[in-house]
Each structure stands twice: as C-alpha cells, then as structure tokens.
A and B are shown apart, each in its own frame.
Chain A
Amino acid sequence: MDPATILAISQLLAQLIPAGINLYTQLEQNSAGANVTPLATILANADADWNAIAALAAAQQTAASPAAPAA
C-alpha cells in the first residue's frame, strides 16, 4: 500500500472514531433511560443530515463535471 493511501485512510479513520464514540455515548444514555431525545427530534435531525449530504453531493458532482467552468 502506498504512503498516500495509508495517509488518507488514517485521516478518514481519525474522523470516523469520534463519530463512533458519539454513537456509543448516545446509545448508553438511551439504554439507561436518561437524557432520551424524543423520537421526532432524532428523526428530524437525521433527515436534516441526510439532506445536507445529498445537497453537498449534488454540488460536488456539478463542480467536478468536465462541463463546469474552472473555479
């Protein structure tokens, strides 16, 4: 595996680990019955995140298109 790939994977893992810790914390809180966020709020937050991802993905596709003017 070349150094650039190792670096990129390391960077990605470093970004993913905090998300995993956040997940664990939330599940722990929910399983203990404490600090439980209402279902509608969780789903609304999830939907908002998915929408943001979709919007950024669409923008990135357009920006990387050969027909798009250079930035």
Chain B
Amino acid sequence: MKRIALATGVFLITLCMVGCPMNSTQQQQAANASLQAATVLKTAQAGEITAFQNGLIPAADHQFIELQFGNVAQIGKTADSCIASASAQAGVLTCLNSAITSIDTMNTNGGLELKSTQAKTDYALAMTAIRTVFASIEATMGGTPPAAPAPAN
C-alpha cells in the first residue's frame, strides 16, 4: 500500500513538474519581469536621450537606438500577451525564453550597426539589463535561460 502511495506521489510530482497548471505567483513573477524590464528600458531611454542631447551620441545612432527601443517595446507587449495566456509553467518559461532570444538578437545587431562607442555602450547596457531581468525571473521559476551570445565587435 505504501508503495502504491509513493509511486502515485512521485507520478503526480513528475506530472506537475512537466505540466502542472501554473500558480498565480509564478505568472505574477513573469508579469513583474515584464513590468520591471519596461522600467529599466524607460530609464535607459531617458539616459540615452540625455546623452544624445548632450552631443555624446550621433543622430543616426540615436535614431537607430530609439527604433530598437520601440522594437523592444513590441517584444514586451508580446511577452505580456504570452504570459497572460500561459496556462502552465512551461508556457510562461517559453514566453520569457522568446523575449530573451529576441533581445539577444537585437543586442547583437545593435553592436554591428552602431557607429559611436558611446552609443554601443549605452545600448548594450540597456539590452543586457533587460535580459538580466527576464533571465533572473526565468531562473527563479526553474527554467534555463538561453546562453547569452558573444558580444559583437
């Protein structure tokens, strides 16, 4: 009898680990990741605009960075929708993974496109900070964030 109970328990735990309905705290953590990533980007955006206004970033680089910030905003909104519709932990981890991968791609592309050292540094810092927020939450939830790509030169 004990063996049956133990086997049932292990089975249920295993089942839960691979597809248990997500509790609200996990979904809220993921949503908070998006909210905080947005806060980080808002701060970085304000810093970048100030740097541009002070002549530290060329106009072309400024335009490119703002274009990418707009794209990150779309990624964030997509992540929000994804998190809202996720019904299991695996689903929300997929949402976070997708956001991280998109941000990594943008970070790499930015390193290749931007001309000024200042712009590259600010942009990489902002993207890395956003990535860190998403990756930290994913790790907290038991996921494995994708490996960060090598920085572009």
**Could you tell me which A residues sit within 8 Å of B by CB distance?**
4-5, 8-9, 11-13, 15-16, 18-20, 22-23, 26-27, 30-31, 33, 36-37, 39, 42-43, 45-47, 49-54, 56-58, 60-61, 64-66
Contact = CB atoms under 8 A, between A and B. Distances in A.
Interface in B74-103: 74, 76-77, 80, 83-84
Interface of B: 24-25, 27-29, 31-32, 34-36, 38-47, 49-52, 56, 59, 62-63, 66-67, 69-70, 72-74, 76-77, 80, 83-84, 117-118, 121-122, 125-126, 129, 133, 137, 140
Nearest to A44: B80
A19 to B, nearest CB: 5
Given A8-B118, A53-B72, A23 B50 contact: no
B49 A42 contact: no
A50 B121 contact: no
A36 B52 CA distance: 38
Contacts of A43: 31, 34, 80, 83-84
Contact of A16 (B59, B67, B129): B129
